[in-house]
Amino acid sequence: MHLPEGRRAGPSRMNILHYWRAMWGIIGRELWRFVTQRERFISALVRPLVWLFVFAAGFRATLGLAITPPYETYILYEVYITPGLCGMIQLFNGMQSSLSMVYDREMGSMRILMVCPLPRWFLLLSKLLAGTAVSILQVYVFLAIAWFYDIKAPWQGYLWVLPALMLAGLMLGALGLLLSSFIKQLENFAGVMNFVIFPMFFMSTALYPLWKLKESSALLYNLAKYDPFSQAIELIRFALYGQFNQPAFIYTLAAFIVFMTAAIIGYNPSKGMMSKKGGG
């Protein structure tokens, strides 16, 4: 069904143009879809805002007993939780993309994309970049609302956070891609929520700092510490305050490479899960 790599390539200049067109086609489609679907835009914002205005408000005074980097003074809980909610937006976005890929596969549009005469990894990466671009857009809108709620980072932080959001978005998107290669039917997505999203979110530094978790359980502390979602959040948190968290960067990058490689293998019809499922 698929042509060998060598036969796909035409003249090399034409090839780059192809790649370029395909990538922007995919990203453009995703952004357009996002902007035009107002409900999706609003619902993507409502979730973190409910956490910020309702959940965090109830726990306002819980932190403020110890100062941990990158913070230099006492902070309210809503200030702490904000980078975690940026991560949450990206986590859900990554999962949403994976959901839409399962849908695309069921509807057959994935087949059309996959038979396009460009390498599979490139198509998947373009899909991933498209999803990440959408999530970054959502995060910035969320940060703007938080700013009016008096949750303000130094202005440089809003620039530094962009590369951090890119990497975090790619990593979480790659995880979504990987999962979507495993999911046979749309109905199985509930399982993903229960077994992936919730544990990943609650066992992370999104809602509570590591030192707080350490107080309750060493196991929980270790699970949270090595949760790639925690590392992505810490990368975002430090970047938002103009600091570079190297260990978090390395960990997130490594997680991205692992998830992406596995997803590419997963989408390979001869090796991966696709052949067993008969989808695609």
Partner 1 sequence: MKKYGSSLFLALVLAGAVHAETVFVTLEKDNALAVVDPIEGKLIKTVPVGQRPRGIAISPDNKFLYIATSDDNAIKIIDAETLKEIGKLPSGDDPETFALNPAGDRLYVSNEDDSLVTVIDLARKKAVKQIKVGVEPEGITVSSDNRWLISASETTNMVHWIDTKTNAIVENTLVDPRPRAAGFTADSQQLWITSEMAGTLMILDAKTKQIIKTIRFEVSGVTADKIQPVGVVIDKGRGRGYVALGPANRVAVLNAQTFEVEKYLLVGQRVWNLAFSPDQKRLYTTNGVSNDISIIDLESQTVTKSVGVGTYPWGVAVKP
- The yes or no reply on residue 60 touching partner 1 (CB under 8 A) is yes
Residue 192 backbone phi and psi in degrees, to 5: -60, -40
How far apart CA 133 and CA 130 sit, in angstroms, is: 5
Instruction: Tell me the CB-side half-sphere exposure of residue 86, using CA atoms within 13 A.
Output: 35
Piece of 59-67, 84-92, 189-197, 214-222 that binds partner 1 (CB under 8 A)? 59-67
Residues 25, 64, 117, 119: which binds partner 1 (CB under 8 A)? 64
Residues 3, 46, 67, 159: which binds partner 1 (CB under 8 A)? 67
How far apart CA 116 and CA 112 sit, in angstroms, is: 7
Q: Which residues of 93-111 are buried (b: 16+ CB within 10 A; e: fewer)?
A: bbbbbbbbbbebbeeeebe
Interface mask toward partner 1 for 69-88; x: CB under 8 A: ---xxxxx------------
For partner 1, the binding residues in 205-224 under the rule CB under 8 A are: none
Shortest CB 141 distance to partner 1, Å: 23
Of 149 and 221, CB closest to partner 1: 149
Contact 248, 161 (CB under 8 A): no
Shortest CB 128 distance to partner 1, Å: 38
How far apart CA 148 and CA 226 sit, in angstroms, is: 33
Piece of 6-14, 65-73, 122-130, 175-183 that binds partner 1 (CB under 8 A)? 65-73
Of 63 and 134, CB closest to partner 1: 63
- The yes or no reply on residue 39 touching partner 1 (CB under 8 A) is no
Contact 33, 78 (CB under 8 A): no
- The yes or no reply on residue 187 touching partner 1 (CB under 8 A) is no
Of 154 and 199, CB closest to partner 1: 154
- The yes or no reply on residue 152 touching partner 1 (CB under 8 A) is yes
Closest by CA position to 234, among listed 206, 254, 259: 206
Other residues' Cβ atoms within 10 Å of the Cβ of residue 10: 11
Q: How many residues bind partner 1 (CB under 8 A)?
A: 12
Residues that bind partner 1 (CB under 8 A): 57, 60-61, 64-65, 67, 72-76, 152
